[in-house]
Amino acid sequence: MRRDESLKGREQFTNQRIINEGWRWTESVRNIHSPVMNILVIGSGGREHALLWKLSQSPRVSRLYCAPGNAGTAKLATNHAVPATDLQGLMALAKSQLIDLTIVGPDDPLAAGIVDLFQENGLRVFGPLAAAARLEASKSFAKEFMVRHGIPTAASHTFSNSEAALAHCRAASYPLVVKADGLALGKGVVIAQTREEAETAVRQSMIEKVFGDAGSIVVIEEFLTGPECSIHALVDGTNYTLFPDAKDHKRALDGDQGLNTGGMGTISPSREVEGVMAERIRHEVMDPFVQGLAADGLPFNGMLFPGLMMTPKGPMVLEFNCRFGDPETQVLMRRLQSDLLDLIEATIDGRLSSVQPVWDERAAVCIVLASGGYPGPIEKGKVITGLKEVEVEEASADPDVVIFHAGTALKNGMVVTNGGRVLGVTALGETIEEARTKAYAAADKIAFEGKQLRRDIGA
Ligand code: AMP
Ligand code: GLY
């Protein structure tokens, strides 16, 4: 959608006001703009709340919808209880609510072809087609792509036969990394220190099928070392726009101990990507990525989020994600000053070279508050107290702190826990240190039975 110049001028004015006033924009500011769009965000995590929070600042947004959403998204959008995996239900919702644009949060609907389905039905949607979303949904497909196009990654072998995989484990040196090929809720990767651990991982994945079909193929790869970081880049088929880097904290406990989780907290910028490394990521990962898309005839319009390890040899790709990260999005949206809708539309329409996002120079930190037992079994329905004191609508609250909901629900007028990761407490500060102090101060005012958090995010 091309915009006329006068509208652009008004937008710049409004965007400046939004930047100046933080998120406390007023309804009247929004109403002077048209045409406006109805937008549906699919998903129910902190990532989706953060995307809606950012979209709600856009003067071009009319109504926001979320499916299925959480107690936080309900404050910005109309929630509809359609699961993110019910593609037909989501399409019916988009049609009935006259949705102008749908933004897909999680990986499963992308892998299942939601973008293909919406496009075939004339609906505008953000995310890659299923053929390209395979870069996340199949690790062996991603490996082949990286090898073909010279993108640095760990040396690996792919197995569809368990006997051959076990024979490989017997002959290998350790540590070694065993990965289920498909989507396994972040649980499909085992760092095996010994042959026994590797063989157990292979048996569980390929013979006992603990990940279902996602584990019938395994990728066994070389163990790499170095700090990790998350890179996000919007890709419009031919061009890309790199976001500032972010760092996730994947293990459940302080000091990177305990089990792997979806992510217990993020900081942006991280300390891993400076000067030379950022240039190397462009030249060694992103440039060959878009050239590889062209060479393979693979269309990709959406978010590419490679997980990287900064090894002594340089940046190496651990995995490709074809969506926004969670909780990376929470810190990135706090730092994005430009209109997210402009960026998303430019990505869909192949116009990324004409937009330059503006970022807040300040640092952002997100602390995840999780349910007791996460990432194992958890109990839901615990009443959450203290939100009122810290949520940004409250005059007394620190304006640099924003709480993004993840596993929350409304029950009898109260906000209760409804999942493993419950809230993402985010703060901006002049430094990471200042941001983390503010975030922990707010996190400590929120209480629910079993509340679990890491104390070392950004430390
Ligand atoms: P992935 O889902 O592929 O990102 O893997 C999950 C986590 O496993 C990563 O965040 C890393 O901490 C670790 N990991 C994955 N691949 C490797 C590797 N080749 N070497 C060392 N650690 C790895
Ligand atoms: N935070 C990691 C992910 O979104 O996959």
CATH code where residue 356 lies: 3.30.470.20
Number of domains in the chain: 4
**Helix (H), strand (E) at residue 143:** helix 139-148
10 and 75 share one domain: yes
Q: What is the CATH number of the domain that holds 437?
A: 3.90.600.10
The answer to the question of residue 389 being in a domain is yes
| Domain match, 271 and 336 both | yes
* Ligand in nearest proximity to the CA of 308: 1
| Mutation test residue for ligand 2: of 104, 264, 328, 366, the one with most atoms within 8 Å of CB | 328
- pLDDT per residue as tens digits for the range 357-398: 999 999 999 999 999 999 999 999 999 999 988 876 666 678
Do 95 and 26 lie in a common domain?
A: yes
More confident residue, 34 or 226: 226
Pocket of ligand 1 from Cβ distances under 6 Å? 154, 177, 179, 189, 191, 221-224, 228, 250, 307, 318-319
Please state which of the ranges 29-38, 302-311, 356-365, 418-427 shows the lowest mean pLDDT.
29-38
Ligand 1 pocket mutation, candidates 318, 319, 328, criterion most atoms within 8 A of CB: 318
Spatial separation of the C-alpha atoms in residues 406 and 44, rounded to whole Å:
6
pLDDT at residue 53 in the model: 98
Nearest atom, ligand 1, residue 316 CA: 19
CATH of the domain at 99: 3.40.50.20
Q: Please state, in angstroms and rounded to a whole number, the distance separating the CA atoms of residues 249 and 226.
A: 14
Same domain (yes/no): 28, 93: yes
Q: What is the pLDDT of residue 368?
A: 98
In a domain, 156, yes or no: no
Ligand nearest to the CA of 421: 2
* Helix (H) / strand (E) containing 6: helix 5-21
Domain of 165? Answer: 161-216
Per-residue pLDDT at 91 exceeds 70 = yes
In a domain, 147, yes or no: no
Question: What's the CATH number where 195 sits?
Answer: 3.30.1490.20
Are 96 and 183 contained in the same domain? no
pLDDT band at 13 (very low <50, low <70, confident <90, very high): very low
Instruction: For residue 140, tell me if it sits in a domain.
Output: no
Are 231 and 206 within one domain? no
pLDDT band at 198 (very low <50, low <70, confident <90, very high): very high
CB-based contact 403:387 (threshold 8 Å): yes
pLDDT at 114 over 80: yes
Cα 261 to middle of ligand 1, angstroms: 12
Which numbered atom of ligand 2 lies nearest the CA of 323? 4
Nearest residue CA, atom 3 of ligand 2? 325
Residue 417 falls within a domain, yes or no? Answer: yes
Q: Round to whole Å and give the CA distance between 136 and 190.
A: 17
Given 98, 125, 152, the domain boundary residue is: 125
Residue 174 pLDDT > 90:
yes
Percentage of the chain exceeding pLDDT 90: 85
Residue 47 CA, closest ligand 2 atom number: 4
Same structural domain for residues 254 and 355? yes
Do 230 and 355 lie in one domain? The reply is: yes
**What pLDDT is attached to residue 2?**
38
Rounded CA separation 448/450 (Å) = 6
Distance (angstroms) between ligand 2 centre and the Cα of 106 equals: 10
**Ligand 2 center from residue 55 Cα (angstroms):** 21
Same domain, 42 and 105: yes
User: Is residue 134 domain-resident?
Assistant: no
Give the position, in ligand 2's atom list, of the atom nearest the Cα of 186.
5
| Separation of CA 320 and ligand 1 centre (Å) | 11
Kindly state the DSSP code that residue 163 receives in the 8-state scheme.
H
CA of 329 to the centre of ligand 2 (A): 9
Does residue 111 form part of some domain? yes
Position in ligand 2 atom list of the atom nearest CA 325 = 4
Q: Is the dihedral of CA 37, 43, 44, 50 positive or negative?
A: negative
pLDDT at 17: 41
Query: Which one of the ligands is nearest to 178 CA?
Result: 1
Distance CA 307, CA 316 (A): 9
Phi, psi for residue 94 in degrees, rounded to 5:
-60, -40
Ligand 1 centroid, distance to 51 Cα (angstroms): 26
Helices first, then strands: H and E counts in the chain: 16, 23
Number of the ligand closest to the Cα of 329: 2
Ligand 2 lining (C-beta closer than 6 Å): 248, 262-263, 321, 325-326, 328
| 148 within domain boundaries | no
pLDDT bucket at 148, cuts 50 / 70 / 90:
very high
Q: Quote the CA–CA distance of 291 and 287 in Å, as a whole number.
A: 6
pLDDT(203) > 50:
yes
Q: Are residues 195 and 263 located together in one domain of the fold?
A: no
Q: What percent of the chain has pLDDT over 70?
A: 91
Same domain, 113 and 168: no
What pLDDT shows up at residue 394? 64
Same domain, 348 and 254: yes
Which of the listed residues 308, 328, 361 is the one where a domain comes to its end?
361
Ligand closest to CA 305: 2
What is the residue whose two structure tokens read 């649980």? Answer: 187
Entry pTM: 0.91
19 CA from centroid of ligand 1 (Å) = 37
Domain final position from 361, 393, 416: 361
Task: For residues 35 and 48, give the distance between their C-alpha atoms in angstroms, rounded to a whole number.
Answer: 24
Q: Is residue 317 pLDDT above 80, yes or no?
A: yes
What pLDDT is stored for residue 395 in this prediction?
Answer: 61
Lowest mean pLDDT segment, chosen from 26-35, 301-310, 380-389, 409-418: 26-35
pLDDT number for residue 22: 40
Beta bridge pairs of residue 321: 305
